[in-house]
Amino acid sequence: MNWFTGIIVYVLVWWVALFAVLPLWIAPAEPGDLGYSAGAPKQPLLRRKVLITSLVAAVIWTVIYALVRSPWLSFRGS
Tens of pLDDT, residues 47-78: 999 999 999 999 999 999 998 888 777 666 65
Residue 76 lies in a domain: no
Strand partners, 28: 41
Residue 78 lies in a domain: no
Residue 58 lies in a domain: yes
Residue 77 lies in a domain: no
Structure confidence at residue 77 (pLDDT)? 63
Count the domains in the chain. 1
Residue 31 lies in a domain: yes
DSSP state of 23: T
Residue 75 lies in a domain: no
Structure confidence at residue 51 (pLDDT)? 97
* Domain residue limits at 41: 3-69
| CA-to-CA dists, residue 50 to 13, 44, 58, 65, angstroms | 13, 11, 12, 22
